[in-house]
Amino acid sequence: MSLPVVAIVGRPNVGKSTMFNRLAGERIAIVEDKPGITRDRIYSRSEWNGREFHLIDTGGLDFGEQDEILDHIKNQVELAIEEADVILFVVDGRDGVTSADEEVARLLYRSNKPVIVAANKIDNIKHKDEVYEFYQLGFEHVIPISSIHGTGTGDMLDVLVSHFPDKEEEAYDEDTIRVSLIGRPNVGKSSLVNAILGEQRVIVSPVAGTTRDAIDTPFEYEGQKYVLVDTAGIRKRGKVYESIEKYSVLRALKSIERSDVCLVVIDGEQGIAEQDKKIAGYAHEAGCAAIFVVNKWDAVEKDDKTLDRFKQKIRDHFQFMEYAPILFVSAKTKQRIHQILPLVSEVAEQHAMRISTSVLNQVLHDAMLRTPPPSDRGRRFRVQYSTQVSVKPPTFVLFVNDPELAHFSYLRYLENQLRNSFSFKGTPMRIVLRKKNS
């Protein structure tokens, strides 16, 4: 299920990035006492009273002198507003209403989204009455806060969460494999969607999706039900959207949250970019099954070693995803397109695989006999008992004598032994340590 999105918007230097960092729980945005420091939207995840949500920090809206950077900031903010479910409009409570605040308010009226005004920099209770003038901006909720000290942020979050959309019911049955194509703009996601759906044996029945402004495409292939989740090929966007690379991150996040399997699409012509690693990392962290799909392979000049070299580059750049298989395809010529769905089914099955407790304990016991853990000042890491607690991704709890004795490299060894025994192709794996008496 896709999480709600909150966009933090306002003129420059009102404390948006400080607010973002407080809600995100870490120092992500660059904070400096100069207008215009935040130029691109920055994403994070936050939680309040059990409701998780995405958070977008945006650059300050300046309606004065125009230049290329300010136009870019305005485009970014407009994209964030469009993607948001709720908007947090930050103003400077000590400055009072400015003409720039009024300009921002006019932009927000057109969005028809819930807007909460956060009157920032109210560090002293004596200044609380000064915020009433912000009601003239025309929004129902005006809340005095201090993003530096945290005063009032609890009240503000209560109001924010109250405007989140209701949690959606899952629209598909348990056997349906939810697939999304994620990657940078212009790597060929749309073409791949069309190529997959263009297979003669695929029955397509598009229906309205379960998230705002999205269309999922359910279909059936060789008896297996699939649904393509909210991908670039289904949600048509103007060129401005595809030209702004940052936009791909949030779209990837929202697709990943609703997927079983992610196809991480890489441009075979252009090669691997930093953004590819970032987007693939979100799928890994979310516990999604994944397949690397190198598109435009027909356009690459090749010799007999080109494919192996590209595979090695992927393994070098994505060392945290060694489990993900790699396919080289061409949406244009349909090269190897027929291999995608069978591989999706295979990794989805591995993603949902459950191992019996007795077999799991035997495999780990044998692995530890073959290669005992190293001794640490006379003490040695021991696993007394293990069990699989969940699937999608496969998650194992190991009850041990002391979690602190477990070295990262040894846990990696145990994971590799599980993969050697059960494959777990295409899926990340979670190993959680618990002290035996806890």
Known binder of ligand: residue 271? no
Known binder of ligand: residue 36? no
pLDDT band at 36 (very low <50, low <70, confident <90, very high): very low
Known binder of ligand: residue 231? yes
Q: Name the residue with higher pLDDT: 341 or 21.
A: 341
- Shared domain check, 199 and 327: yes
Report how far apart, in Å, the C-alpha atoms of 130 and of each of 108, 126, 149 are: 23, 9, 18
Known binder of ligand: residue 194? no
Task: List CB contacts of 275: < 8 A, sequence separation 6 or more.
Answer: 184, 245, 248, 249
pLDDT of residue 69: 58
- Shared domain check, 141 and 266: no
Known binder of ligand: residue 122? yes
Known binder of ligand: residue 14? yes
Known binder of ligand: residue 237? no
pLDDT over 90 (residue 71): no
User: Which of 66, 56, 115 has its CA nearest to residue 253?
Assistant: 56
pLDDT band at 211 (very low <50, low <70, confident <90, very high): very low
For residue range 330-371, list pLDDT tens digits in order.
999 999 999 999 999 999 999 999 999 999 999 999 999 999
Q: Name the residue with higher pLDDT: 236 or 23.
A: 23
Known binder of ligand: residue 40? no
- Shared domain check, 137 and 229: no
- Shared domain check, 379 and 290: no
Known binder of ligand: residue 436? no
Evaluate whether 116 touches 156 at the Cβ level (below 8 Å). Answer: yes
User: What mean pLDDT comes out for the span 429-436?
Assistant: 92
pLDDT band at 47 (very low <50, low <70, confident <90, very high): confident
Give the CATH number, domain containing residue 378: 3.30.300.20
Known binder of ligand: residue 185? yes
pLDDT over 50 (residue 240): no
Known binder of ligand: residue 58? yes
Task: List CB contacts of 68: < 8 A, sequence separation 6 or more.
Answer: none
Q: Please, which contacts does 27-30 make with residues 24 or more away whose CB atoms are closer than 8 Å?
A: 28/57, 29/57
User: What mean pLDDT comes out for the span 225-244?
Assistant: 54
Known binder of ligand: residue 187? yes
For residue range 249-281, list pLDDT tens digits in order.
666 777 888 899 999 999 999 999 888 888 898
- Shared domain check, 389 and 259: no
Show which of 315, 332, 350 is a domain's final residue: 350
User: What mean pLDDT comes out for the span 28-45?
Assistant: 47
Evaluate whether 297 touches 268 at the Cβ level (below 8 Å). Answer: yes
In a domain, 172, yes or no: no
- Shared domain check, 316 and 210: yes
- Shared domain check, 342 and 219: yes
User: Which of 16, 81, 17, 24 has its CA nearest to residue 53?
Assistant: 24
Please give the DSSP secondary-structure letter assigned to residue 367. Answer: H
The token pair that represents 131 in the structure block: 């915020």
Evaluate whether 89 touches 70 at the Cβ level (below 8 Å). Answer: no
Q: Which domain holds residue 156?
A: 5-162
Alpha carbons 369 and 375: distance in angstroms, whole number: 14
- Shared domain check, 324 and 287: yes
Q: Name the residue with higher pLDDT: 32 or 144.
A: 144
Known binder of ligand: residue 126? no
322-351 burial: b if 16+ Cβ within 10 Å, else e: ebbebbbbbbeeeeebeebbebbbbbbebb
Least confident of 24-38, 108-122, 281-295: 24-38
In a domain, 171, yes or no: no
Alpha carbons 67 and 36: distance in angstroms, whole number: 13
Known binder of ligand: residue 128? no
In a domain, 168, yes or no: no
For the chain, helix, strand, coil in percent to 5 are 35, 25, 40
pLDDT band at 190 (very low <50, low <70, confident <90, very high): confident
- Shared domain check, 332 and 208: yes
pLDDT over 90 (residue 150): no
pLDDT over 70 (residue 228): yes
For residue range 377-426, list pLDDT tens digits in order.
788 999 999 999 999 999 999 999 999 998 999 999 999 999 999 999 99
User: What mean pLDDT comes out for the span 314-343?
Assistant: 95
pLDDT of residue 29: 41
pLDDT of residue 171: 65
Known binder of ligand: residue 59? yes
User: Which of 4, 49, 38, 43 has its CA nearest to residue 26?
Assistant: 43
pLDDT band at 306 (very low <50, low <70, confident <90, very high): very high
Known binder of ligand: residue 123? yes
Indicate the number of domains in the chain.
3
26-35, 116-125, 142-151, 152-161 — which one is most confidently predicted on average? 152-161
Known binder of ligand: residue 302? no
Known binder of ligand: residue 426? no
Specify the 3-state DSSP secondary structure of 372: coil
pLDDT over 80 (residue 236): no
pLDDT over 90 (residue 95): no
- Shared domain check, 208 and 86: no
Q: Name the residue with higher pLDDT: 193 or 167.
A: 193
Known binder of ligand: residue 11? yes
pLDDT over 50 (residue 291): yes
Show which of 350, 369, 400 is a domain's final residue: 350
pLDDT band at 324 (very low <50, low <70, confident <90, very high): very high
In a domain, 108, yes or no: yes
The pLDDT mean for the chain works out to 83
pLDDT of residue 155: 92
User: What mean pLDDT comes out for the span 113-140?
Assistant: 86
Phi, psi of 186, deg, nearest 5: 70, 20
In a domain, 391, yes or no: yes
- Shared domain check, 374 and 322: no
Q: Is the peptide bond before 206 cis (omega within 30 degrees of 0)?
A: no
pLDDT of residue 169: 56
- Look up tokens 């359910």; give the residue: 218
Known binder of ligand: residue 425? no
Specify the 3-state DSSP secondary structure of 280: helix
pLDDT of residue 189: 85
Known binder of ligand: residue 223? no
Class of residue 247 by CB neighbours under 10 A (exposed 0-12, middle 13-18, buried 19+):
buried
Known binder of ligand: residue 189? yes
User: What mean pLDDT comes out for the span 90-99?
Assistant: 89
pLDDT of residue 419: 96
Class of residue 129 by CB neighbours under 10 A (exposed 0-12, middle 13-18, buried 19+):
exposed
Known binder of ligand: residue 152? no
pLDDT band at 238 (very low <50, low <70, confident <90, very high): very low
- Shared domain check, 105 and 233: no
Show which of 282, 317, 350 is a domain's final residue: 350
Known binder of ligand: residue 268? no
For residue range 48-68, list pLDDT tens digits in order.
988 888 888 877 666 565 656
In a domain, 170, yes or no: no
Give the CATH number, domain containing residue 58: 3.40.50.300
